[in-house]
């Protein structure tokens, strides 16, 4: 396993900026507002020839027991128990503050190898000497924003990581399944992630909108590598007015684009809202497989009626996802959660399914015999040949005499028949119309 390095410090000292710098790309949200990061976030990182996992954490701040600030602090302290080194950031411009002293004591109590970093040391007015009072040695002056001082950081970090750094050839070659947990705010996404992982990995609570970043977590389910993304709640676009929320929503939509399977979490105690259908359509348009997680199922009285209503509503609203799997569960109690991952794996297999060309063309003949294509100018349209052009999602090329004349209703008929005949539930099916003869006619197989 790669060595692990956590970045900690007060809110707004530049932890996420340094995290992005070490990860080599913008992964964590960065904003002038303090406390943007709430959940800890991990990514592969490098500094020179050092390769490790870097962990961004929430700003260490005081708060009453049970408050959001206290839960954020608990998440950060949990991260300290699972790392090999700590980068303790302080703000060189703001100088030494009382919370810095408190958190230096916390580090000593955990007994972790800590490197003191005075960030924002570019330009005048930055004095890092005052931080000697923390008792953590000489601070390293850097500017995470401008990339200054990283050489000195490398010199301090190398002795802590290099000796036990695992050889690259021992890393697993298995490509993880990319799974995104999506939904409106406060439907239980982070609670579901914690229940799947079996630990309180994500910050949860009654407040809506706690999750801001799309947090990626590497996980293994029954030996299968999974890269799990917990995302911010997606509200209707007109309601997203603040810049910070817009950044969080953009991050969630980016997770959809990179995912292979999306789990759409809905609240079973509410009617399926327009926003739920909007999210489902967005997932379908991106070509991702979808599983519906119907949360808070323990609170529903007439369960069979509710399940039928939900499934019919999503199939009416998103015709591309007919036959979608709906898993009823309670993320809070854990009831039914064990059914979710088998449904995800099954949806992933359908998303990757390939149908042999001879089978497709026998099916095409039968489909036309049951329901012939329409007449155009007194002549029957000829559907000559079909082949599967791609997977992820299943994509088919249909060769016709006049593809531009084929009505959408007949195309929908073919897609529905494909889905039923070849067992393709809950994934978008794409059909491209092409003009021409059978491209394999006259050729030997």
Q: Using one digit for the tens of pLDDT, what is the confidence trace for 78-135?
A: 657 678 888 999 988 888 888 888 878 878 777 777 899 999 887 655 566 788 888 8
CB 64 within 8 A of CB 93: no
How confident is the model at residue 294, as a pLDDT?
A: 93
d(CA 79, CA 271) in angstroms, rounded, equals 38
Tell me which of 25 and 349 has the higher pLDDT: 349
Torsion of CA 157, 158, 160, 164, to 10 degrees: 140
* Res 34 pLDDT > 50: no
How confident is the model at residue 258, as a pLDDT?
A: 85
CB atoms within 10 A of CB 41: 25
Q: In sequence order, which ranges of 114-270 are alpha helices (DSSP H)?
A: 150-161, 189-197, 243-258
How confident is the model at residue 211, as a pLDDT?
A: 47
- Could you confirm whether domain 177-351 is CATH 3.40.50.300? yes
4-170: what fold?
Rossmann fold (3.40.50)
How confident is the model at residue 348, as a pLDDT?
A: 96
Per-domain residue ranges for the chain?
4-170, 177-351, 357-435
Ranking 146-150, 326-330, 434-438 by mean pLDDT, the lowest is 434-438
Q: Quick one: how far is CA 386 from the chain centroid?
A: 35
Tell me which of 72 and 334 has the higher pLDDT: 334
E strands present in 124-258: 140-141, 177-183, 215-221, 224-230
Q: In sequence order, which ranges of 24-129 are alpha helices (DSSP H)?
A: 68-80, 98-110
Q: For a pLDDT cut of 90, what percent of the chain falls above it? A: 31
Distances in whole angstroms, Cα of residue 344 to Cα of each of 197, 226, 341:
15, 11, 5
Report residue 33's pLDDT band, with 50, 70 and 90 as the boundaries: very low
Tell me which of 438 and 283 has the higher pLDDT: 283
Span between the terminal Cα atoms of the chain, in Å: 48
How confident is the model at residue 76, as a pLDDT?
A: 62
Asked if 177-351 and 357-435 have one fold, the answer is: no
CB 265 within 8 A of CB 230: no
Of 151, 107, 145, 103, nearest to 126 (Cα)? Answer: 145
**Mean of per-residue pLDDT scores for the chain:** 81
d(CA 56, CA 48) in angstroms, rounded, equals 20
Burial (CB < 10 A; 0-12, 13-18, 19+), residue 425, is middle
Report residue 30's pLDDT band, with 50, 70 and 90 as the boundaries: very low
Q: How would you classify the pairing of strands 224-230 and 215-221?
A: antiparallel
CB 76 within 8 A of CB 58: yes
Q: Structure pTM? A: 0.67
Report residue 168's pLDDT band, with 50, 70 and 90 as the boundaries: very low
How confident is the model at residue 99, as a pLDDT?
A: 80
* Res 39 pLDDT > 70: no
CB 253 within 8 A of CB 180: no
d(CA 70, CA 68) in angstroms, rounded, equals 5
CB atoms within 10 A of CB 2: 17
351 phi-psi bin (left φ>0, alpha ψ -120 to 50, beta other): alpha
Report residue 335's pLDDT band, with 50, 70 and 90 as the boundaries: very high
Print burial letters for 378-412: b (CB count within 10 Å at least 16), e (below 16): eeebebbbbbbeeeebbebbbbbbebebbeeebee
* Res 25 pLDDT > 50: yes
d(CA 155, CA 374) in angstroms, rounded, equals 74
d(CA 10, CA 100) in angstroms, rounded, equals 7
357-435: what fold?
GMP Synthetase; Chain A, domain 3 (3.30.300)
């Amino acid at each position: 396993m790669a060595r692990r390095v956590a970045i900690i410090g007060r809110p707004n000292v530049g932890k996420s900026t340094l995290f992005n710098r070490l990860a080599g790309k913008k992964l964590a949200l960065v904003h002038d507002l303090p406390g943007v990061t709430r959940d800890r976030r991990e990514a592969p990182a490098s500094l020179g020839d050092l390769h490790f996992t870097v962990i961004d954490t929430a700003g260490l701040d005081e708060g009453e027991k049970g408050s959001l600030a206290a839960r954020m602090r608990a998440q950060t302290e949990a991260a300290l128990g699972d790392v090999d080194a700590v980068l303790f950031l302080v703000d060189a411009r703001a100088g030494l503050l009382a919370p810095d002293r408190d958190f230096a004591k916390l580090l000593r109590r955990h007994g972790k190898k800590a490197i003191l970093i005075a960030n924002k040391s570019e330009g005048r007015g930055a004095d890092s000497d005052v931080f000697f009072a923390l008792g953590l040695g000489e601070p390293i002056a850097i500017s995470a924003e401008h990339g200054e001082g990283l050489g000195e950081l490398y010199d301090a970090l190398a002795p802590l990581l290099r000796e036990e750094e695992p050889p690259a050839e021992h890393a697993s070659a298995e490509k993880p399944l990319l799974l995104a947990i999506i939904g409106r705010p406060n439907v239980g996404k982070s609670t579901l992630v914690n229940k799947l992982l079996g630990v309180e990995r994500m910050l949860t609570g009654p407040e809506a909108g706690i999750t801001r970043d799309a947090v990626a977590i590497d996980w293994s389910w029954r030996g299968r590598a999974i890269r799990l993304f917990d995302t911010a709640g997606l509200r209707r676009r007109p309601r997203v007015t603040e810049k910070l929320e817009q950044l969080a929503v953009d991050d969630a939509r980016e997770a959809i684009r990179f995912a292979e399977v999306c789990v759409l979490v809905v609240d079973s105690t509410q009617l399926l809202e327009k926003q739920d259908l909007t999210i489902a359509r967005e997932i379908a348009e991106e070509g991702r497989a979808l599983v519906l997680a119907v949360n808070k199922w323990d609170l529903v009285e007439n369960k069979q009626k509710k399940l039928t209503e939900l499934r019919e509503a999503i199939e009416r609203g998103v015709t591309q996802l007919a036959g979608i799997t709906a898993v009823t569960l309670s993320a809070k109690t854990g009831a039914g959660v064990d059914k979710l991952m088998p449904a995800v794996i099954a949806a992933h297999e359908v998303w990757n399914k390939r149908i042999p060309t001879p089978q497709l063309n026998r099916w095409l003949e039968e489909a036309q015999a049951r329901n012939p294509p329409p007449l155009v100018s007194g002549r029957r349209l000829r559907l000559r040949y079909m082949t599967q052009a791609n997977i992820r999602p299943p994509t088919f090329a249909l060769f016709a005499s006049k593809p531009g004349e084929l009505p959408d209703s007949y195309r929908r008929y073919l897609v529905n028949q494909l889905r039923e005949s070849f067992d393709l539930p809950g994934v978008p099916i794409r059909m491209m119309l092409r003009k021409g003869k059978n491209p394999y006619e006259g050729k030997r197989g």
